[in-house]
Structure formats: structure tokens, C-alpha cells
Homo-oligomer: A and B are copies of this chain.
Amino acid sequence: MRKFEQLGSLSEPEMQALWKAPVRFGHVRAHEDIVSEGQGLSESSLILDGFACRYKLLPGGMRQIMSFQIPGDFCDLQGLVLTAMDYAVGALTRCHVAFLSHQSLFQLFETHPRIAQALWKETLVDGMIHREWLENIGRRPAYARIAHLLCEMRSRLKAIGLAQDRQFELPLTQTDIGDATGLSMIHVNRTLRKLRADGLITFHANVVTVHDWKRLQSTAGFDPSYLQLQPIGSGKIGRAR
């Protein structure tokens, strides 16, 4: 549970302060919502364990997933600064979640402004992922689109030690993948088979096995520097303060 540390290179006293903040722990069953759309929030939730997704429902009942949240990700920092959520967060597996009250976060911001900045940064990274997905859904054909999603998830899961080079667990149904990529479940199925037939990956029992990482990456048009951020302290901000 010491995943706070990935939060973004804070200094020792800042980490100390975070440890002392009151945290409520809880868990959410698979297929239940962690946060609902339209809700106003009084605490922010951080995934400690499990997979979740942000999504919206359309009038017709269709679902669009906007991002997957993995351990170490905040779900709803948006609710800290804005008064209503424009999306829901659903648990894809059983999730362990830490809830931090907004009040105590704001108190932390007073004494440790860099914590606010670290959280701001979190939301900016969300924005980067959204833009990557816009590019993906808007301009790539299904084959590359799914390949790209797999590249992204491998990359993000590796960063938190949940993926190996050749293999990682990805507890998504084909319906989930379809809702994330803007495709029908059926087409996802066929495309996965094609990826399999081409010797790029296999996806079975929630496990992705990468057979040809290089080719997967190139068909996806995946940029390996994706989300490889510089730590806060070493960049412009360090200088500016």
C-alpha cells in the first residue's frame, strides 16, 4: 500500500504529512460504482488494488469508457475543484480504495503546496491519457486501436510493477475493450483473433501475452515515451520555486 510514493516525487516532509492525513479505507465489489455521475463529492478516492474505469452512459444505453484506473490512480480528483462529476467510476474487479476527505486535503495544501501541485499533475496526466485516446479512437482503425490500448496498459502496469515483459493481467471483458475503443464487442473479438493469428498477442483468461512487442508497438503507432514523465522536482518547477 505504499503506492503513494508513485504519486510524484514529493519530498520527505511532504510524504510524512500525507501519512498523517486521515484516510478511510474501503472496498467496492466488481461491477459496482465507486462514484456516480452528477454527484458532488466530499472525498477523493485512490485505487489501492483492483481495476476501475471512468465511463459515461449515452441515452441509448451505450457506454463509453474514458480511461482505466489502476492501483495508484486517483479516480475523482476532479471533484476536489469542481462541484459535480461529469462521469462515473465503476469497479471492473473488486477494488480496495482509500478515501481522502477534501477538507484534510485542502489543509495539506496550505502547509505543503507541492502536494496540490502533485495532484494537479495527476489531473494533467489524465488529460494526456484522454488525448491519447482521442487520437486512438478518432484516427486509428480497429486493429491498431486495440493494439494501442494493450501497449498503453502494459506500459502503465509495468510502471507500477504489475506487468512483466511478456505477460500481464488485464481483467477486461471484450465488451469493456469495445466500450473503451468505440467498437462493438463482436468486432473486438474478431480483431483480437487477428492479432493472435498474426502472432502479436494472445488474450485469454484475463491475461495478455505479448509475443512480438516490437511489431505490436509499430502497428499500434505507440510512442514508448508515453507517460514517461520527468519528476516534478527536476523540471521547470524545481527551478521556479
Interface majority SS (helix, strand, loop, mixed), chain A: helix
Interface pair B121/A113, CB less than 8 Å apart: no
Interchain nearest-CB distance for A200 vs B (Å): 18
Encode A65-92 as 1/0 by CB contact (under 8 A) with B. 0100000000001101111101100000
Given A83-B235, A221-B58, the answer on whether A123 and B134 have CB atoms closer than 8 Å is: no
Interface pair A128/B236, CB less than 8 Å apart: no
C-alpha spacing A240/B82, complex, angstroms: 13
Among B77, B113, B131, B133, the residue within 8 A (CB) of A54 is B131
Interface pair B135/A56, CB less than 8 Å apart: yes
A64 at the interface (CB under 8 A from B): yes
Given A42-B236, A131-B87, the answer on whether A81 and B124 have CB atoms closer than 8 Å is: yes
Instruction: Kindly list chain B residues whose C-beta atoms are within 8 Å of the C-beta of A214.
Output: none
Encode A210-229 as 1/0 by CB contact (under 8 A) with B. 00000000000100000001
A161 at the interface (CB under 8 A from B): no
Q: Which of A188-224 contact B (CB under 8 A)?
A: 221
What band does the interface of chain A fall in when counting residues whose beta carbon is under 8 Å from B?
Answer: 35 or more
Among B59, B77, B78, B137, the residue within 8 A (CB) of A221 is B59
A16 at the interface (CB under 8 A from B): no
Given A81-B117, A127-B123, the answer on whether A135 and B64 have CB atoms closer than 8 Å is: yes
Seen from chain A, the residues whose Cβ lies within 8 Å of a Cβ on chain B are: 40-42, 54, 56, 58-59, 62-64, 66, 77-78, 80-84, 86-87, 102-103, 106, 109-110, 113, 116-117, 120-121, 123-128, 130-135, 137-140, 181-182, 221, 229-230, 232, 235-237, 240-241
